[in-house]
Chains A and B, each alone.
Chain A
């Protein structure tokens, strides 16, 4: 038995050694005529867009007969776990999805992304493209974007005799309408906005405040303007928005309420268009109201090439195709699979006539005034968790909004300095 133990320990040591030395480097140039297979690990097609991705892959393989794309689709929730394990072991796919600019920042800083030279920058929306470049070098390419707008139920507005929201609305207008629209006895609520980090950094900017100090070394939200913004999020709960006890914060709670015609206004992403298409009540969207200025949350996904890919050229070809080809643009616009990250507004124009909602222009208007998402590197997830947890404490009334900001400030400053 001691021998077995010794063998186990020996293998353990090998495992430990292997863990340190897995970042391989040096990749030979591809022979253009040789058939290569590249692997693509993604989450963006999961949950209903698998066929749409297959259409894009087919078009790419037809255009590039020497390249085969081997697609692996992972559930969104576990994608990061699988990708990090792969990166740790040096088995990452040649091309993989990156879940937004903050994840990009983390991967780029740790050297797991190959630089992408010679990308035709004119094809991409400049602001989206620049989110995935570091020190002038492109390390990933945006594959899609979406933004958050104000959805509203026309029937409920009509019934209350109120005018529909417009781009000129401020928080005051939204509150006034929400109060009139709320009818708790009938189970109808005026408003819904998630109490989360992703909303918080945005409403800070809507109120002229900002999340981080200009040097990025400390937080800047614990100010009177920041407090007002936090209050804006937290105090809807129980007055114009359902409470946590009502189920607020549970998966799909808000969207189901909207579908059922029990919610007048909903702050959510344009990815919900499809889910609301068959709603009984008519609905439309508007750019979110700001307080001192407009500021919108824009989310994008990106695609990167692994620094250890054996076929970097073929991999980059696929990354470019997946992020800028006409096939991709058509597939995405036809199916409403978020929006292509392209610069050509003429191609995007067809999006405006794709049916409900009427005011699709708001999607593009919102993307013109972006609230930049703070990005702090390795501690990003912990920072986001800290903010969301403290805001929910305030929402549940277990601490004041000021206490929540104080606590969050203390925790996050510690992260920024550690």
Chain B
């Protein structure tokens, strides 16, 4: 009892003493973080400004509020191409990639974290190694391979090479490593097998990592350019980044339309992030680790 009282006193004293200083620090922190955020926003402000400036140029400083502001570029973006189809294609591919990566990453991560076997470290090393060679050099052999599978110009051909990602496996492995083993052991005593431990103990406890992977898997698919460009042929299969690249002509480019395309392509990602962020916080709150 006495011990606790001493501690309480020791804690209470500096708190009272430092409350003004702490207040100042909090204000300073707000100022710095908000100023940083504003600086981060500059490139976007410029992107948006260019997108609403008809005939915008990239070389002269744009007016912050263009005198002839217009949403015409957005209109042209949606009118000039089968834009709805393009967005739908990108969405489908991104959703499929994300779902596939969630499955392949979580199962592999569980194996590497919770199922010890001989050579586990080496196999994990091989997994990581798949991230270490640049895509640019794999394009040609991969293309030849998919041709032999008959998958050129199909969604499957665009999707398959990215259904497993060492990045996702590594991310989830780190998260599972942080889940206390006592939880597994308790479930094992209750007679749970690995599938049940995986599904009802591990997964609910790595909510933040799952949400993070969801955002990154979706984003990588949504923004991927080189592979879909090479493997998808038909105009009706086109994805958003390729359609946007098509707006840059050989000699001249309509920068307002290009930047409008950039703004439009950011929106779904932003929505997903906001959604996932809420989930991250909920995931932690309900995880029961604390």
Contacts and interface: CB of A to CB of B under 8 A. Distances in A.
Is any CB of A less than 8 Å from a CB of B in the complex?
yes
Interface of A: 1, 5, 11-12, 14-16, 18-19, 22, 39, 43, 46-48, 70-78, 81-82, 85, 88-91, 247, 250-253, 255-257, 259-260, 269, 271-272, 275
Contacts of A259: 57
Contacts of B140: 19, 85, 88-89
Contacts of A85: 139-140, 143, 230
B19 interface: no
B201 interface: no
Which of A5, A75, A272 counts the most chain B CB atoms within 10 A?
A75
A413 B148 CA distance: 41
Contacts of B126: 5
Contact of A1 (B57, B123, B250): B123
Given A46-B250, A247-B59, 8 more contacts: A43-B250, A47-B248, A74-B246, A76-B250, A77-B248, A78-B229, A85-B143, A260-B57
A73 B235 contact: yes
A275 B252 contact: yes
B59 A253 contact: yes
A195 B60 CA distance: 21
B119 interface: yes
B253 interface: yes
Given A81-B230, A252-B255, A260-B60, A19 B245 contact: no
B233 to A, nearest CB: 5
B245 A78 contact: yes
A251 B58 contact: yes
A105 B125 CA distance: 45
A24 to B, nearest CB: 12
10 contacts: A5-B126, A11-B145, A14-B148, A19-B141, A39-B233, A47-B250, A89-B144, A251-B253, A252-B253, A271-B252
Given A1-B123, A16-B141, A47 B247 contact: yes
A320 to B, nearest CB: 24
B123 A46 contact: no
B171 interface: no
Contacts of A257: 59
A339 to B, nearest CB: 14
Interface of B: 57-60, 119, 123, 126, 139-141, 143-145, 147-148, 152, 226, 229-230, 233-235, 242, 245-253, 255
A18 B148 contact: yes
A-B pairs with the 5 shortest C-beta distances? Answer: A47-B249, A76-B250, A256-B57, A75-B245, A247-B59
Contact of A272 (B147, B251, B253, B255): B251
A5 to B, nearest CB: 7
Given A77-B245, A252-B59, A256-B60, A88 B144 contact: yes
Contact of A22 (B144, B145, B242, B248): B144
Contacts of B152: 91
Nearest to B229: A78
A15 B245 contact: no
Contact of A47 (B123, B230, B246): B246
Contacts of A1: 119, 123
B143 A89 contact: yes
Contact of A75 (B141, B147, B246, B255): B246
B78 to A, nearest CB: 15
B229 A48 contact: no
A356 B255 CA distance: 24
Contacts of A275: 251-252
A15 B145 contact: yes
A18 to B, nearest CB: 5
Contacts of A75: 229, 242, 245-246, 248
Contacts of A91: 143, 147, 152
B103 to A, nearest CB: 17
Contacts of A39: 233
A277 B221 CA distance: 40
A255 B252 contact: yes
A89 B249 contact: no
A272 B252 contact: yes
Which of B58, B143, B250, B255 counts the most chain A CB atoms within 10 A?
B250
A74 B228 CA distance: 12
A19 B144 contact: yes
Contacts of B246: 46-47, 73-75
Given A18-B144, A22-B144, A250 B58 contact: yes
Which of A70, A256, A272 counts the most chain B CB atoms within 10 A?
A256
B59 A271 contact: no
B249 A269 contact: no
Given A247-B59, A260-B60, A15 B252 contact: no
B238 to A, nearest CB: 9
A72 B246 CA distance: 12
A186 to B, nearest CB: 14
B66 to A, nearest CB: 15
Contacts of A71: 235
Given A5-B126, A74-B229, A85-B140, A48 B59 contact: no
B180 to A, nearest CB: 28
A340 B229 CA distance: 29
B107 to A, nearest CB: 14
A75 B244 CA distance: 9
A15 B141 contact: yes
B251 A256 contact: no
Contacts of A272: 251-252
A43 B248 CA distance: 11
Nearest to B81: A50
Contacts of A250: 58-59
Contacts of B123: 1
A417 to B, nearest CB: 28
Nearest to A48: B249
Nearest to A76: B250
Contacts of A46: 246, 249-250
